[in-house]
Amino acid sequence: MKGFIKEILIAVIIAVIVMQFIKPTIVKDVSMQPTLYENNYILLSKQSYHFGKPERGDIIVFHTGLKLENGKEKMLIKRVIGLPGETLTIKEGEVYINDKILEEDYTKDGYTDRDVDRLTIPEGELFVMGDNRLASMDSRQSEVGCVKIDDVLGKAFVRLYPFNQIQTF
């Protein structure tokens, strides 16, 4: 019996340590299609930006300050498009970073609506958008705007479910 209690205690300690670095999350929206779909089960690295800097293309979950109908905070999952200090422009359906067209083969429709005129991304912040640009609340809207790196909960690094679509990011 003593050995069994010791094994349970070790398992609990390991689980607590793992949860400090990894957060399981379920996608609840269509804004990241075709990369992620509703009810996809993903894992986030909660420590990614403690050891490195965000990169263009990272998929992140972040705090917004927006509220759900039940009063809880609405978290969003989006792709990092613009990095601190860069100038971003969206016109005629194309995204430009520092006046060069950004190649984006991951978008659902290959078109980005809602023009943005030469926005310089502040230090310590990111410009993020969903891959489904026509159905995404993201940095193009004032309710979200640029996201403070400190508000990032984690970086998606693997999709675990559905099982036939397991993928690393």
3 occurs within a structural domain: no
142 occurs within a structural domain: yes
Catalytic site residue from 2, 6, 28, 31: 31
Per-position DSSP letters for 67-131, written without gaps between them: E-TTSPEEEEEEEEEE-TT-EEEEETTEEEETTEEPP-TT-SSS---S-EEEEEPPTTEEEEE-S
Does position 43 have pLDDT exceeding 80, yes or no? yes
Counting the structural domains of the chain, the total is: 1
Task: Over range 54-72, report the average pLDDT.
Answer: 92
Is residue 142 part of the annotated active site? The answer reads no
Does position 67 have pLDDT exceeding 90, yes or no? no
pLDDT band at 112 (very low <50, low <70, confident <90, very high): very high
19 CB-side CA count, 13 A: 6
Catalytic site residue from 48, 78, 136, 155: 78
Is residue 78 part of the annotated active site? The answer reads yes
- In degrees rounded to 5, what are phi and psi of residue 49? -95, 5
Cα 130 to Cα 27, 81, 134, 163: the distances in Å are 12, 9, 9, 23
Of 148, 135, 130, the residue nearest 65 (C-alpha): 148
Range of the domain at 41: 25-168
pLDDT in tens, 123-138: 999 999 999 999 999 9
Amino acid in the structure at residue 157: F
pLDDT band at 4 (very low <50, low <70, confident <90, very high): confident
Domain CATH number, residue 113: 2.10.109.10
Place of tokens 């659902």: 108
What pLDDT, on a 0 to 100 scale, did the predictor assign at position 11?
Answer: 80
149 occurs within a structural domain: yes
1 occurs within a structural domain: no
Predicted model pTM: 0.89
30 occurs within a structural domain: yes
107 occurs within a structural domain: yes
Task: Over range 77-96, report the average pLDDT.
Answer: 97
